[in-house]
Structure 1
């Protein structure tokens, strides 16, 4: 789910953004400057004192500017005093502190003295301002206000330049423009340049009076925006007002909700109390919007809605790389994922990474020397393996240093999705970036499949519920060597509920048995080797079982080892519905009537001999489900030998699915 503030779609906040603009020489009356400087402050947050991350080498902090590397604080924005222990800044500057991994927000004066925030007095999300008081405030220096500024007059944008002092730039108050949501007030537009860190600073007239709060710039014009100071003064006292259109999307389809995030709560509150009250409302709204998105237009929602039918009839993808069931531009639900690169680990291990929208997808094949039990139950070991890809690096100046460990997660829990698969969700902090890493993984026989997201600290809850909802749409294959399956099946607390109805038993060199609600399959070494390195792949898919969509095994594939192309395979094929494409109907006709290649006649396909038959009722019985049965052998093989192998395979197969 993506959360987008309505105003941010057209406007760029100044907080932390570099903007190219010509700086005008400040020509404010010199006698006004001391009061302006004494009344204007940096908004800062203390840098983390502990870094849980480990790096491949010492961070080259000398590459950072002196001010940045020696400052104990991050410079966030600007604030100003209006008297009687009242201070004003932009609302979005304050919101940097929501669930922050940095210290509480505070103000810093020109001498470097820091003043903690005491109480939040007024707040408006839509008007993007906050008024607050300080503990032990400085002198009574403050800026007078002018609530009736004149158009086309000189104004001065005042703000800190990210820790390097207060900067004053002149320009013109050029025009007003209605706010985007309902035209309830007008933004001031002005031409004075704004620097990174100017958000929340005062916009002054030639008499040094505040006429507005500097907030943002237009995306398409060389003009900046300010909230008239009268809107701050006239806002209700002792109240936080939330009344802003917030658009929501979910990654698997393009439907968007454009509802209003609305609520109030009483002030004054401490900074932590304010964030607690705000967070409660925001989380409730996010949860409600996600639920409405998923319930929106059920006639088109997977797996029962329009566009789902073909995927429910597809033979499973046997790829061990995960994908996501998503709706395409034609309204069809299909598998989506971009596999991008593979990184080799020691002892036959590797990690494949790819993406779906803004989500990082991965498949981890564990190193043979690593205990599966340790991997499944030690999140630090898992993340350390992922970090070997070099995907995460910390930028320091123009250098990038590889992160080699993130330590232990701060959260570790299991989420059970709609299909009763148990995903392990872990969250690691990256304090230097005020960001959390959200990792959602599902144990599979050879290691893990999963998804990773990088969430700003203030948006972590949104990302988390998005990940949990997305788990319902994940498409996963279970693949591994028999020795890996043996360990995997002992992890009863991590197995999906589907495995309650699946029985896998084998004795190396003697027999293999598989039983499920759909079929029973057994063989001995006369058909195919049964060794610790023999391969077994269960192709799970979504399909209808007696009218209800289930997630279960629809394809069983086995090979004597990971290297040869010999294999046996039993796949589920369902009768297509009348509205499906001809390709499904053609395949079904061949399967139902045992036409080539389902006729039990061996054929050569790229130097692999293949022979296929069909298990299940004959065409006259109008079957709803049939099971093509395959035997593959590398190199040239005579028909009698292939037929004998197929007969052995068929003799150990019993279909239960009807």
Structure 2
């Protein structure tokens, strides 16, 4: 799911989009415009506070070397807090900041937002008194009010007057910059109020700070920068004062999208709850309502054209009747602009690990798709049951780096996950959900990992504060649309099959027996197959791939194995291939009908005659019920390297067919 609020389409939670811009301002001196009476500065400074969040005390991460913190500026490396915005006093224990500044604390790995004065004293937020998501402001009290002299207000600002944007960053002093109140502009949704536009410079740390007249009176709350011009935006202070007390208003238009298709919902989040509330309770109520909205949008977007949602509708047929599901890198089933569903496999780099391990990577939008081939020295039971084993392999990718000054420091361990649970998708595949913390970046790493014989098929995202519920709900839905084959050496299969609690439900009907150098057998409700070394070598490094996907099955679609492929070894090119085929619907195009007709009538290449292509010799035949109008047929291939004689290939094919029994009709 994506909350799309920016013209460039970058996906963030809408209510969090400005927070990123509000972190990291460094102000090093107190500056004021010449026309602002210097006598006002002590009052302005006393009533203006920095909004901060405590840096994490404990770091679960391990690094390749000690962090070179001496490369950081003195203030940054010694400050125990992060600066996230500005707040100011307008009455007795009555403070204002931007709504998005406060919401930086939702689901944060940092401490709850607090205020810090110019002397460095920290004041915890006590009660949230007013809140408006759309107007982006919050009014609150402090648990231990320092009782500064509040700023006066002016609710009738005059266009073209001089104004002063005030911000406080990193506790180093109040920054005051001058400009003009240039114009008003209707808010973008439906013009319910007007934003103030002003030319005074405003850095990220100004967010939530006051916009003052030359008399030092507050006329607005600084909220955001213009995307494409040198003007900034503030909310009139009158809109804050006139808002109803004792109420949190969550009302905003948000555009909602799911990565499997271009369908977009343009709806409003609309909710209210009673204030005052303590900060923790406020965050809980906010998250609950936000989560409810996410759930509703997710349900609605999947219900939209539900009769055409994969695997339903004509747009699914090309994928359902199109052949093997053999990709080892997980792919996402997506719908294109014509309404056709296809498998998107975004192949990327392959990164080598020790002991024959590797990680194959791909990226689609915000999601990383990974295939981890576990090192031979890493037992399947340890990989599946010890989250640190997975994290260690992921860290070797070099995706997790910490910037310290001019250096990039590689993270070598993620520590213990915050979450370690199992999610069973619609097709009864069991994914391990692990969430790790990167406290220094206030970011979480979310992984859904599907155990496969060779290791894991993984989808992964990074979640910023406030995005955890959205991200996990989104990825949980995507698991229903992920396809990957089950592949590994016979030695890996033996280890994998022992982890019965993590096997897909469909595998309960599958029985695999491996006796090296003697016999291999596979049995399911669809077919039984066995062979001996007369056909092909049976060694620990023989490679078995089960193509598992979405199969038409007597009027419904099921997730099951439709392909069995066995390769003698990585070095030995001899291999066999057995693939299930269902009769295509009448409205499918001629290419599907032609393929099916070749199978039924045993036309090339299914006439049991050897042929050579790409340096290999192939031979193939159909298997299954030889009725006048079969509903299911299996195509059977045997392949050998180089040019082979017909007798040699026919002997192999006969052995393959002799060991094959088709059970379904």
TM-score of the pair, normalised by structure 2: 0.96
Match of 2:3 in 1: 3
Structure 1: distance between partners of 2:204 and 2:72: 17
2:189 to 156, 177, 181: 181
Give runs of aligned pairs for residues 160-309 of structure 1, distance below 5 A. 160-309=168-317
Match of 1:613 in 2: 621
Could you list the runs of 5+ residues in structure 2 that have no partner in the other structure? Answer: 8-13
Structure 2: distance between partners of 1:515 and 1:131: 67
Match of 1:362 in 2: 370
Match of 2:645 in 1: 638
Give runs of aligned pairs for residues 38-187 of structure 1, distance below 5 A. 38-187=46-195
Q: Deviations for 1:232-273, whole angstroms, at most 9, x for unmatched residues?
A: 101111111111112211111111111111111111111111
Match of 2:543 in 1: 535
Structure 1: distance between partners of 2:307 and 2:213: 58
Counterpart contact for 2:367–2:461, Cα < 8 Å: yes
Q: What is the deviation of 1:329?
A: 2.5
- Kindly indicate whether residue 601 of structure 2 is the aligned counterpart of residue 589 of structure 1: no
Counterpart contact for 1:11–1:218, Cα < 8 Å: no
Q: What is the deviation of 1:12?
A: 5.7
Match of 2:655 in 1: 648
Match of 1:333 in 2: 341
Q: Deviations for 1:436-456, whole angstroms, at most 9, x for unmatched residues?
A: 110110111111111111001
SS at match of 1:180: coil
TM-score of the pair, normalised by structure 1: 0.97
Structure 2: distance between partners of 1:67 and 1:542: 57
- Kindly indicate whether residue 407 of structure 2 is the aligned counterpart of residue 399 of structure 1: yes
- Kindly indicate whether residue 337 of structure 2 is the aligned counterpart of residue 342 of structure 1: no
Structure 2: distance between partners of 1:531 and 1:195: 66
Structure 2: distance between partners of 1:633 and 1:467: 41
Q: What is the deviation of 1:508?
A: 1.6
- Kindly indicate whether residue 566 of structure 2 is the aligned counterpart of residue 558 of structure 1: yes
Counterpart contact for 1:188–1:227, Cα < 8 Å: yes
Q: What is the deviation of 1:129?
A: 0.3
Q: 1:477 to 1:214 in 2, by over 3 A?
A: same
Q: Deviations for 1:291-321, whole angstroms, at most 9, x for unmatched residues?
A: 1111111132111124111000011132211
Structure 1: distance between partners of 2:133 and 2:34: 32
Structure 2: distance between partners of 1:181 and 1:285: 19
SS at match of 2:96: strand
Structure 2: distance between partners of 1:549 and 1:594: 27
Structure 2: distance between partners of 1:148 and 1:582: 73
Match of 1:460 in 2: 468
Q: What is the deviation of 1:330?
A: 2.3
Q: What is the deviation of 1:491?
A: 0.9
The more displaced of 336-345 and 149-158 is: 336-345
SS at match of 1:82: strand
Q: What is the deviation of 1:166?
A: 1.2
CA RMSD of aligned residues (A): 1.8
Structure 2: distance between partners of 1:612 and 1:18: 68
Q: What is the deviation of 1:502?
A: 1.1
Match of 2:452 in 1: 444
Q: Deviations for 1:597-654, whole angstroms, at most 9, x for unmatched residues?
A: 1111001112211100111244x61122211110111122211111111111111111
Q: 1:496 to 1:229 in 2, by over 3 A?
A: same
Give runs of aligned pairs for residues 465-614 of structure 1, distance below 5 A. 465-614=473-622
SS at match of 1:287: helix
Could you list the runs of 5+ residues in structure 1 that have no partner in the other structure? Answer: none
Counterpart contact for 2:250–2:270, Cα < 8 Å: yes
Q: 1:163 to 1:512 in 2, by over 3 A?
A: same
User: How many residues of Structure 1 are paired with residues of Structure 2 in the alignment?
Assistant: 654
Counterpart contact for 2:325–2:563, Cα < 8 Å: no
Counterpart contact for 2:118–2:171, Cα < 8 Å: no
SS at match of 1:143: coil
Structure 2: distance between partners of 1:9 and 1:606: 56
Q: What is the deviation of 1:486?
A: 1.1
Structure 1: distance between partners of 2:250 and 2:651: 74
Q: Deviations for 1:345-389, whole angstroms, at most 9, x for unmatched residues?
A: 111111111112210111111111111111110001111111111
Counterpart contact for 1:161–1:195, Cα < 8 Å: no
Q: What is the deviation of 1:79?
A: 0.3
Structure 1: distance between partners of 2:144 and 2:645: 93
Counterpart contact for 2:32–2:175, Cα < 8 Å: no
Q: 1:5 to 1:606 in 2, by over 3 A?
A: closer
SS at match of 1:338: coil
Q: Deviations for 1:516-561, whole angstroms, at most 9, x for unmatched residues?
A: 1221111111111112221111001112101111111111001211
Structure 1: distance between partners of 2:481 and 2:25: 39
Structure 2: distance between partners of 1:645 and 1:4: 57
Counterpart contact for 2:15–2:100, Cα < 8 Å: no
Q: What is the deviation of 1:196?
A: 2.3
Match of 2:631 in 1: 624
Q: 1:373 to 1:10 in 2, by over 3 A?
A: closer
